[in-house]
Structure 1
Amino acid sequence: MTSPFRGLRAALAADPAVGAGNVLTTRVERDLHPDAPALTFDTPVDGLPAWQPLSVRRLDHAVRIRASALHELGIRRRDPVAVQASNASDNILGFLALTRLGAIPALVNPLLDGPLTARYLAERLGPGVRLLADAEHLNALTGHRHTPLADIRSLVAGDPDTAPTPYRHWGGDPIAITHSSGTTGLPKAVVHSHDSLYAAIRHRLRLPRPQGSHRMLSALPSPHAATLIAVNLALSFGSELLPLSRQTGPDVLDSIERWRPASVYGFATTWTDLARHDLSARDLDSVALWWNTGDCAHETHIRRLVNAGTREQATRDGRVRIPGSVFVDGLGSTEMGHSHFFISHSADSSRYGRCVGRPHAFVDCAVLGPDGDELPPGEVGELGTRSPTLALGYWNDSETTYRTRVRGYFLTGDLMYRDEEGYYYHVDRAVDSVDLPGGQRLHTALCEEHVLAACPEVLDCTVVAVRSGDRTTTDVLLQLAPGAAPSDDRAPAIRDALGPDVAATLRDILVVADEELPLGPTGKVRKMLLRERHLARTAAA
């Protein structure tokens, strides 16, 4: 059946002026399905109850209200404005309103605490940046130096009829600042352009519409670059999107049962949270597609998810719905602007081992050695990538911007190799990998994958390895599935999974509670902090 939005996709794909800053205004100006449902929020918006969809026209009205109020507060073209709020609606409407004015929204994860937010604002964005936040986060910053602009909820007093004419973006205009996960320290402020945040969407507009894209649920943090891409993807495809304000496993599962999405977007931590639950006891039949970005997902979690849901399949008798779903895995980062790799898994998939698939058509990538030369298949090196999706660089930090560029490649910090068929495999982050005696190297992420495969009762695993002098020591931290006995001896299976070289460095296997693992704002384990604790424990011993 022909999609009623095929003309919309063709019109946007053919217009080189369309980008991440003006999809909404373009649809309104050109009368492209303005009454079709677009975004649904889990909180009320301007008198509209939670869970009730906003049409494109109603969404534009809400944005004009906020743009008018921001203009009255003196916000103009190129003004950087930080936004920190708990509700997805505040983040997304704040982004759309600021970009309408040509300002630069700097979205801050609401899980950053007050002191860390204050440092990020001062050291990354600059001491003069103005802040839009909800009352909770304004209160958390009391006593810290910052420049508040307004409570973000007060913007609802704006007059939509006095909103300025939408700013006309140029492709290289900075359109947003989002930040990295902060697992290695203070998050870095990453600058995206009008073209870069839309490049992958423009590519996808020319492809057949994927199954499940008509109704999408986002379990991504709402201030993340991936959410901004999801919003513009939905507006460009004529899809309905529900971005969640809370992304815990129970919140995601409850929202799936209530809203009935056809696809779910999330990070690797999302699938870990879902795997804690008995998915067979939940009504997930609406889901045909799970879409992962950021870190690649673990095989054990993927296999649980693809056994849930249902999807359409072409048969001699026409299209029928069959049990099971598809999981699209990839590898991306804030700086990469979009996943640069993809691989699809179903119940009968067999290519795992941290395989992230092949690169998208818009990506030119290579595995590089220490001197920047490309390595042959089978050799582990650092991923370098070129793509129109790449961020412009780091705000107020040209040193880091240029340190991460070699021969025109952006260095992602990921250690990978490719096989003879052109598939890429992720083994670790460079900062987490350590040397072993004899010229070998310990890759913590790959070790975690092996432990999870060997121990089905282990829900998640964190490997912490530290090199001190000529000695490497390793701890394995286990989070167990409900009902698993902490006292069971898992050492033989874990040693076999790690292999003899890594097993020789093993100091402890510890069962830990969730709250014992320090997490960054996007849910990633802060391995740097764990290594510091590891060294302190070693010194005390």
Structure 2
Amino acid sequence: MTVSGIRAALAADPGLGAGNVLHKLIEHGAALDSPGMTFDTAVDEHPAGHPLTLGELRDAVAARAAWLSEQGIGPRDPVAVYVTTAADTFLHFMALNWLGAIPALMNPNLPGDVAAEYIRRLRAVGLLTDADHRRLLARSERGLELGFRIDAVYDVTATPVGDPAAAPVPYRHADEDPIAITHSSGTTRMPAAVTQTHGNLFVGTRLLRLKKPRARGTDRILSVLPAPHAAGIMAINHALCNRSELLYISRPDDGPAVVDAIESWRPTGVFGFAVTWAELARIDLSERAVDSVSLWYNTGDCAHEPHIRHLVTAGSYERVTREGVQRVPGSMFVDGLGSSEMGHSAFHITHTPDTERYGRCVGQVHDFVEIKLLDPATGDEVPVGEVGLCGMKSASLSPGYWNDSLNTYRNHRNGYYLTGDLLYRDEEGYYYHVDRMVDAVDLGQGRWLYTAMSEERILKASPDVLDCTVVAVPTDAGVVTDVLLTLHPWADPHRDWEPAVRGALSDAAAATLRSVLVIGDDKLVIGPTGKVRKFLMRQRHAADAVAANTTAADATAADPTAAAATAADAVTVPASTAAAESGAR
């Protein structure tokens, strides 16, 4: 059957969903020697980089399903998956779905103590892991308790020995059946466990990828999305349903490795998060062979303008000209705003070298999404041009948090899911993201400090700045702001950056500016998905300030003439702020 015929058959199948794409493809006539998936690590007897056919992919998944079935894993059993590679993540995701079980996919960068507590809260019946992560769990105090709280720990090196022919009949999913538990990056240490169903996680794939023409640049996809994320699941289902070739690499935070993969594999599209584009901004792409790329696809946090402009000048894409369709230098960047809870990006905008709609514009709303911007205090819809808290209705939404009805209900209001994002809408229906609610600071008298928008302005005004983080901290004297800069290699780290930063900020933000610091990457508090954790950055600043005050007090006691050294501000983080740091994504 042709690709268009398979896509049409899939689009018309009401039983197709996020948990059974592999089986439905074969059922609808996809050839077993057609594309399956390619991984950057070995899969069974196949070496790293071997393009698994659809038949080889099915056999690898069936072997693992057979082995897990023999261990007693069956429908509705939650099983934690804490592994290193994309291959182990997706092969076991598909195998557990084959059995009707519920894989809880965990980011491999989660610290052992956080992972152990997360698994405990899942009430998982089993854990699939590898040697490195078993050691991480063993070193944590909570991990020592897992043997008494979890039925079985399975090593992923054992699961491939199952007999594919012995795999049971694939489980038949209904739309409301959970097919995965994915976790948000979280703004505190403990991520939120987000339930994904057969139906909700397939809405975008069905309506955008199957019922519309195949998107340009998606015939050969390189995915650098975190594999355990909801976006990772959607990426593999997108590729499989559209019969695209797909290479999935396991280290999305390694910019040089991403460029190396582009040069060697020659993808037409690259899927990733904003953190990957920041890493690529360090690299002169004009010196690299990235001309095969016509599409960069971003989800999660929206990307910064300088990072987008850096990418759209690279690659090549097809454009309609007076002489017909021609391939021209440059590429397209599809941006949006999404989260694990949204199930799919709610917004979309396409940038090319010629576009100028930036300023953290996330575009317009997808057809299957309803958005209202709400006053955080009253819940009333705010007028055009005014910043409000994003409320969302969509069939793509997660039904809630696993084993956590409190936060499931807390994050809904008047029938809308509260995404935690602050946006405003212009007269043309375009939405602009200014900050996360937990990172925005009320300065009083109607003035607000939006940290994300401040970062956007600094990056646009200072081309020598690679990335920046704005950390606003409450003190006894009011809010103070520290701006942390990471520079391009050619920039002067000894330059006085304060005037440029101050000039880029709004008047309200500039009035709070305390310091501008050039730092290395090692000074940032980074979460498992590569995002800066501003809540923990505020805590670090608080601890540093207390330590500085203690040192100054000791010095004053030893030398009364040093009293001026005690002038440093004492920094506190209110308990109410800490309690509010349960944001998603």
TM superposition score category, shorter chain reference: over 0.9
Return the offset for 1:537.
3.6
**Residue type of the alignment partner of 2:211:** R
Partner SS for 1:460:
strand
Q: Distance in 2 between matches of 1:214 and 1:284?
A: 16
For residues 435-466 of structure 1, what are the alpha-carbon distances to aligned partners after superposition, in whole Å with 9 as ceiling and x for unaligned? Answer: 22432000000000000011100000000002
Q: Does 1:334 align with 2:340?
A: yes
Q: Tell me which of 447, 452, 469 is aligned to 2:454.
A: 447
What is the CA deviation profile of residues 236-258 of structure 1, one whole-angstrom value per residue up to 9, with x for unaligned ones? 10111111111110111010001
1:373 to 380, 398, 405: 380
Counterpart residue number, 2:559: none
- SS where residue 221 of structure 2 aligns? strand
Q: Is the 8 A contact 2:6 2:28 kept in 1?
A: no
Q: How far 1:489 moved relative to its partner?
A: 1.4
2:422 maps to 1:415: yes
CA distance in 2: counterparts of 1:64 and 1:49, whole angstroms: 19
Question: Is the deviation greater in 493-502 or in 418-427?
Answer: 493-502
What letter matches 1:94 in structure 2?
H
Deviates more, 1:148-157 or 1:344-353: 148-157
Match of 1:173 in 2: 177
The question of whether the paired residues in 1 share the 8 Å contact of 2:298 and 2:334 is answered with yes
Please identify runs of 4+ aligned residues in structure 1 that moved more than 4 A.
none
Show the counterpart of 1:320.
Answer: 326
Q: Which residue of 2 aligns with 1:100?
A: 98
Contact map agreement 1:442 1:502 (CA 8 A) in 2? yes
Structure 1 match to 2:482: 475
Contact 1:458 1:478 in 2 (8 A): yes
Give the deviation of 1:134 after TM superposition: 1.0
Contact kept? 1:182, 1:521, Cα under 8 Å: no
Confirm or deny: 8 A CA contact 1:435 1:467 kept in the other structure: no
Is this contact kept in 2: 1:68–1:164, CA < 8 A? yes
Q: How does 1:127-146 map to 2 (within 5 A)?
A: 128-142=124-138, 144=143, 145-146=145-146
Aligned residue for 1:79?
Answer: 77
Q: How big is the alpha-carbon RMSD for the aligned residues of Structure 1 and Structure 2?
A: 1.3
| Superimposed CA distance per residue, residues 278-304 of structure 1 (whole angstroms, 9 cap, x where no aligned partner) | 111110000000000000000000001
Q: Which deviates the most, 425-434 or 491-500?
A: 491-500
* Corresponding residue to 1:64 among 62, 65, 68: 62
Give the aligned partner of residue 514 of structure 1: 521
Identity of aligned residues (%): 56
Counterpart of 1:21? 19
Could you say which residue in structure 2 is the equivalent of 1:209? Answer: 214
Residues 340-381 of structure 1: CA distance to partner in whole angstroms, max 9, x if unpaired?
Answer: 101000111111000000011110011011221111101111
Q: Tell me, yes or no, if the aligned pair for 2:76 and 2:101 is still in contact at 8 Å.
A: yes
After superposition, give the CA deviation of every residue in 1:7-36 in whole Å (9 maximum; x if it has no partner).
111101101110011111011223223321
Task: Please show how residues 29-68 of structure 1 align to structure 2 within 5 Å.
Answer: 29-68=27-66
Mapped contact 1:27–1:34 kept (Cα < 8 A): no
Post-superposition shift, 1:150? 0.9
Counterpart in the other structure of 2:563: none
CA contact (8 A) 1:121 1:129 kept: no
- Which of 185, 191, 194 aligns to 1:187? It is 191
The one of 525, 530, 533 aligned to 2:537:
530
Separation of aligned partners in 2, 1:524 and 1:264:
19
Residue 5 of structure 2 corresponds to: 7
SS at match of 2:39: coil
2:250 aligned residue: 245
Name the amino acid aligned to 1:61.
Answer: D
SS at match of 2:74: coil
1:220 to 225, 231, 235: 225
* Structure 2: runs of 5 or more not aligned: 550-567, 569-585
Q: What is the one-letter code of the residue matched to 1:513?
A: G
Equivalence for 2:394: 387
- Take 1:426 and 1:395, find their aligned partners in 2: how far apart are those partners? 28
Give the letter aligned to residue 163 of structure 2: D
Contact 2:183 2:192 in 1 (8 A): yes
Query: Displacement, 1:470?
Result: 5.9
Query: What runs of 5+ residues in structure 1 fail to find an aligned partner?
Result: none
Aligned residue pair count:
537
8 Å CA contact 2:293, 2:331 repeated in 1: yes
Question: 2:157 matched to which residue of 1?
Answer: 153
* Contact 2:480/2:513 (<8 A) preserved: yes
- Structure 1 residue 317, shift from structure 2 partner: 4.2
Separation in structure 2 between the aligned mates of residue 438 and residue 78 of structure 1, nearest angstrom: 52
Candidates 282, 291, 300, aligned match of 1:294: 300
| Structure with larger Rg | 2
Residue 230 of structure 1 pairs with residue 235 of structure 2: yes
For 2:200, the equivalent position in structure 1 comes to 196
Task: Give the Cα separation in 2 of the matches to 1:190 and 1:499.
Answer: 36
Return the alpha-carbon distance in structure 2 between the equivalents of residues 63 and 341 of structure 1. 34
Task: Tell me by how many angstroms 1:320 deviates.
Answer: 2.1
Q: Which of residues 307, 315, 332 is equivalent to 2:313?
A: 307
Q: Is the 2:36–2:56 contact (alpha carbons within 8 Å) kept by the matching residues of 1?
A: no
Rounded to whole Å, the distance in 1 between the matches of 2:63 and 2:323 is 51
Aligned to 1:119: 117
User: What is the rounded CA distance, in whole Å, between the counterparts of 2:378 and 2:508 in structure 1?
Assistant: 27
8 Å CA contact 2:526–2:533 kept in 1: the answer is yes
Q: Is 2:266 aligned against 1:260?
A: yes
